[in-house]
Amino acid sequence: MKILAVLYPGERAEEEHPEVLATAENVLGLRPFLAEQGHEIVGTSDTGEEADAQLADAEVLITTPFWPLYLDEKRMERARKLKLVITAGVGSDHIDMEAAGRHGIRVTEVTDSNVVSVAEHNVMQILALVRNLIPGYQQAVAGRWDVAEVSRDAHDLEGKTVGLVGLGAIGARTALRLKGFDVRMLYYANHRRSPAEETTLGVKYARLDDLVAESDVICLALPLMAGSKALFDRERLNAMKPGSWLVNTARGAIVDTDALVAALESGHLAGYAGDTWYPEPAPADHPWRTMPRHAMTIHYSGMTIEAQKRIAAGVEEILRAHLGDQPLPSDYVLVDPTSS
């Protein structure tokens, strides 16, 4: 059996950094296990013609939201042997789920594998914005020492209102980590938490428009779907409090690209941070790279060494079940045409 893994490049990772498991070279540490059973795994970072050629005779595709292969119906039509797709991480919006179902392809992801990592990244980026970290760092690198310039936009997080849009696994863990900062926390989600859960997390439910109007910091922690694409468009960004901050480690397409740039250039928003872009990898001339008041990183919040170990273990668990013709772990399954 052939398994294709489309993962981010690691250059000499196999020799020099074997702990970085989720590279095209290290293929999640799966080679020894698969070789023992006589299966082939091909690792590549190409998301174009080479990937299509390799996909043509692959039974399993391993992909990742950090270096996504956008798997649409056209690609599925050419991948006639494809039976299983595994997302090495959390978030499979780069896969056309309905098309997968029509083509009899099962889709899985390693649920909860990096939720802790992303929640910690959320808190880090909230603090980077509120405390005005990036300009302070840039002064240190440039040999400058202008405390007045940096401190005029530096604030305490304590006492601020933080709005969480989405309160799933990542949003909830973000809330737990923010409780110690003595902030007021609002949340909006399609499914309201129980009173006991709200008390434990230290959050209060609010309608989205009210959350947007009241929050000093908004943190996006919801999946990308039909109802959330460009959810933060020009109108909603303008409805945010003047001088507020926005953090987005969810998906780049939830925020309107050009409207965000305008909100930052005008000074309406004090800052934006996140690690998700659209498309990914972001091109060198992506406008978010050069917009003012940002603390963006590349998409790596869920790629800590610890998260990669959890992801690799989950992918191997899914593969073992598939190779052994056993039921896939139900909590990892997103699409299973065989169950209907």
CATH number at residue 203: 3.40.50.720
155 and 10 share one domain: no
Is 218 found in the same domain as 328? no
Tens of pLDDT along 178-219? 999 999 999 999 999 999 999 999 999 999 999 999 999 999
Average pLDDT over residues 54-62: 97
- Best CA proximity match to 317, nearest among 335, 305, 301, 330: 330
Residue 81 shares a structural domain with residue 127: no
Q: What is the pLDDT of residues 145-184, one digit of tens each?
A: 999 999 999 999 999 999 999 999 999 999 999 999 999 9
Q: Are residues 169 and 246 in the same domain?
A: yes
Looking at the domain assignment, is residue 38 inside a domain? yes
Quote the number of domains for the chain: 2
- pLDDT tens per residue, range 259-282: 999 999 999 999 999 999 999 999
| 298: in domain | no
Which residues are paired to 242 by β-bridges? none
Contact yes or no for 62/86 (Cβ under 8 A): yes
Burial level of 188, CB count in 10 A (0-12/13-18/19+)? Answer: buried
> Has residue 296 been placed in a domain?
no
Task: Decide: residue 221, CB within 10 A, 0-12 exposed, 13-18 middle, 19+ buried.
Answer: buried
pLDDT number for residue 249: 97
CA geometry: angle at 122 spanning 117 and 126, to 5°?
150
Domain that holds residue 307: 2-112+303-339
Same domain, 283 and 187: yes
- Let me know whether 106 and 138 are in one domain: no
* Same domain for 123 and 187: yes
Q: In this structure, is residue 265 part of a structural domain?
A: yes
**Do the beta carbons of residue 167 and residue 221 sit within 8 Å?**
yes
